[in-house]
Amino acid sequence: MARLIDLVARRLTEYWPGAEIGPLLAAYEFAAAAHRGQRRLSGEPYVCHPVAVANILTTIEADPASLVAALLHDTVEDNDSVGLADIAERFGDTVASLIDGVTKLRRLDFASREEDQASNLRKMLLAMARDLRVVLIKLADRLHNLRTLWPLPPDTRRAKAEESLYIFAPLAHRLGVWRMKAEMEDLSFRYLEPRAYWTIRRQLGQSQAERESLTRHYQANLRNKLLAAGLPAEVFGRAKHIYSIWRKMQTEDLPIESIRDLIGLRILLHTEAQCYQALGVVHDLWHPIPGEFSDYIANPKSNRYQSLHTKVLGEHGGPVEIQIRTWEMHRVAEYGVAAHWRYKEGTTDAAFDEQIAWLRRLLELSSDLAEQHDYWETVQGELLSSQVFVFSPKGQVFDLPAGSTPLDFAYRVHTDVGNHCAGARVNGKPVALDYRLRTGDVVEIVTSVSAEPRLEWLNIARSSHAKAKVRRYLRAKARHESIEAGHQAVLRALEHLPAAERARAKLDRLSEVAAQLGFPDQDSLFAAVGYGDVEASTIARRICEEEQRRPTSLAEEVQLKLPSIESAASTQALPVATTGGGSILARPARCCNPVPGDTISGYITRGGGIAVHRAECPNIRYRAAREPERIIPLVWGPRDEGQIFRVWIEVVAVDRRGLLSHIAAIVSDSDINITAAQARTDAPGLAKLWLELEVHERRQLDHLLERMRLVADVVTVREVPRHMVPTGALNASDESRPHVSG
């Protein structure tokens, strides 16, 4: 490890003149002490990992603060004796802030349900907006983990590889860090499609000597021609990475033997003018292939990538891909946003701001899109799409996903321009809204105050950004129409009531009725009537009822809304089996109420039946210590798809009116029924709420508990055994009470 940290220090001083290595070496000593005795699954000392992460960051010329944070990024989470305050005191607030951001990113799970993925993406984007270096450290952390995945179980390896290929590699691409992106894709591909990976690698190996010989020939030929033209250029061979070859095989439906453009060259010069001169030399030396030229110097990609790309036919008849760029362009292409901190720290940088404009757009949509799947789709579209570059009439460059239409361009300019788009001109000529834009097009949008989004626009728009804006407008319009329809329906329902009832109608009670039914306001109530979810006659009768005293606390709200619900003891048979495979009859133990997904054990009762306990239940542990012969290991067996299991949860929350409606809405949205409820004031300003729920499995309950913890006024929420629920909510039997060991 000492040799590797010395290498990190040496590299830092090479690309960052004047950098002090003292903090770097101090961070290594601190990390080594914090991780002493800890080992990775491979058996290596754990400190190898943060040092390797710092070493990866030197390959993209990361700043000194990022390297120090990389060395310390696991110390806070993996060591109870180390806190952020300790880091800040010894290494400064910037390093502590970076470590805090990386620690939070480690807890994000992108292999979870779609709504969780969207929520976690929001958190990642916010972390990026605060300091992009947080994500650079995370990318380096993930890359080293990919290099050392082999000790993990196959399912875990696959999950990490999928997450890397579909989330982190596209992020690296968007941030312009080509070095990390290419290796991350190849390593992920290796675990996701091992047969294809090794087949391509083996076939590349068989032809490697021939390709290397041909590449050296082309390099020498081209270098001589450039020098003869007075251009001081360096010419390098450029290898295609395995994942990019596989993608080309898939998109063009070709075997690897038919892919001939495996040879690539890169020309590095000092000025833009020399790049265009070199392009002339290349096209004079070899015949250019039509349609295979791209000028990313005049039209940079959104991640600030600049280069001239061309494809030519070499003298041996095969295609050769050539990139031409300046040394500075090459540094940006290789290191991406990491290059920003080298010269720009503490100053504004218009090019850098333009490079992360996509991040600002996604953050704006984060508060714009109510539907999680819309946001997930938008982020994926923004990260994964290839691009075209078009111009406004004033010459401003816009990057759009490949296949975009004038409608996508309109929404990129401004939401109002998109919402009132009535037509478009491309290169001065009128075109249909579904015209496919090409790089270099000049696009002008014709607007009209009477134009508005229509449902068919969802088929015209190609960018997820534009589709999200269209959906939002259509939903808002549909909601407005539903509110008006619901309002009129309630007024008509009032007219059909007897005159005596109608005389008691008080429209100012609509907000109260909305709250009673779990709606945030009366517009939401009218919208529900308009959608057909609530009967207009129900609302009409409610506003004609004698006004009731409004509940002032959570306990009163439960009593008013759920006055007669009492829990019945669950006696259903559980779908369990012995570890040997034999099915048995069993019932749930009331002390811990196991549900599918829990680890379980069985206790043979005196009457001969089997009570199923969660493995961590104190009762089963007590029995196991005293009557081990009555304990049998169990597993969950096949069960009916609709089978339900009852559990109790306890919620401690700020005592306020309306909280029950909020909680009930979350429970309902999770497709869970409430079968009993009890509440009481537990302390000044706090209330306790107990709910009996019907769930299908442990994962469903855990997801609900996570959602409820996010409610602002909820202090704690947990699952509890029956004996901890007040007797007003159920009649507990003796069996439900715990056994206390002497």
Q: How confident is the model at residue 280 (pLDDT cuts 50, 70, 90)?
A: very high
Residue 85 identity (one-letter amino acid): A
CB of 269 closer than 8 Å to CB of 247: no
More confident residue, 503 or 558: 503
pLDDT in the model for residue 175: 74
Task: Give the lowest-confidence range in 404-413, 435-444, 590-599, 700-709.
Answer: 590-599
The structure's pTM equals 0.50
Residues recognised as catalytic: 77-78
pLDDT digits (tens, 9 = 90+) for 19-42: 888 889 999 998 888 888 888 888
CB of 106 closer than 8 Å to CB of 121: no
pLDDT digits (tens, 9 = 90+) for 195-228: 888 888 887 765 667 777 888 888 899 999 999 9
Q: How confident is the model at residue 713 (pLDDT cuts 50, 70, 90)?
A: confident
Residue 186 identity (one-letter amino acid): D
pLDDT in the model for residue 734: 34
More confident residue, 504 or 258: 504
pLDDT digits (tens, 9 = 90+) for 317-358: 678 889 999 988 887 777 665 554 444 444 445 554 454 455
Alpha carbon 569 to its chain's center: 41
Q: What percent of the chain has pLDDT over 90?
A: 15
pLDDT in the model for residue 318: 77
Q: How many CB atoms lie within 10 A of CB 661?
A: 17
The pairing of strands 587-588 and 610-614 is parallel
Is residue 119 pLDDT above 70, yes or no?
A: no
pLDDT in the model for residue 557: 62
Helices 64-72, 48-58: inter-axial angle, 10-degree rounding:
160
Taken as a whole, the chain contains a residue count of 742
Alpha carbon 713 to its chain's center: 26
Q: Which run of H or of E encompasses 478? A: helix 464-495
Q: What integer is the mean pLDDT of 527-543?
A: 78
- ∠ Cα 534 538 541 (to 5°): 155
Is residue 283 pLDDT above 80, yes or no?
A: yes
pLDDT in the model for residue 613: 84
pLDDT digits (tens, 9 = 90+) for 100-116: 878 776 655 554 444 44
Q: Which run of H or of E encompasses 550? A: none
d(C-alpha 333, C-alpha 638), whole Å: 54
Helices 64-72, 2-15: inter-axial angle, 10-degree rounding:
160
d(C-alpha 388, C-alpha 542), whole Å: 57
What is the residue-averaged pLDDT of the chain?
A: 77
Q: Which residues contact 236 (CB under 8 A, 6 or more apart)?
A: 219, 265, 266, 268
Q: Which run of H or of E encompasses 722? A: none
More confident residue, 718 or 507: 718
- The b-or-e profile of 154-184 (16+ CB within 10 A means b, else e) is eeebbbbbebbbebbbbbbbbbbbbbbbbbb
- ∠ Cα 80 85 89 (to 5°): 125
Is residue 644 pLDDT above 90, yes or no?
A: no
Is residue 528 pLDDT above 90, yes or no?
A: no
Q: Where does 420-456 have alpha helices with state H?
A: none
pLDDT in the model for residue 476: 81
Is residue 232 pLDDT above 50, yes or no?
A: yes
In angstroms, what is the C-alpha Rg of the chain? 32
d(C-alpha 235, C-alpha 324), whole Å: 9
pLDDT in the model for residue 684: 65
pLDDT in the model for residue 688: 84
Task: Give the lowest-confidence range in 42-46, 152-156, 420-424, 615-619.
Answer: 615-619
DSSP state string for 337-395: GGGHHHHHTTS--HHHHHHTHHHHHHHHHHHH---HHHHHHHHHHHHH--EEEEE-TT-
- Highest mean pLDDT pick, 48-52, 344-348, 540-544, 616-620: 48-52
d(C-alpha 716, C-alpha 706), whole Å: 10
pLDDT in the model for residue 370: 41
Alpha carbon 466 to its chain's center: 20
More confident residue, 741 or 420: 420
pLDDT digits (tens, 9 = 90+) for 139-194: 899 899 999 988 888 888 888 888 888 778 877 877 777 778 888 999 999 999 88
Is residue 507 pLDDT above 90, yes or no?
A: no
CB of 511 closer than 8 Å to CB of 543: no
d(C-alpha 252, C-alpha 462), whole Å: 22
Task: Give the lowest-confidence range in 114-118, 391-395, 471-475.
Answer: 114-118
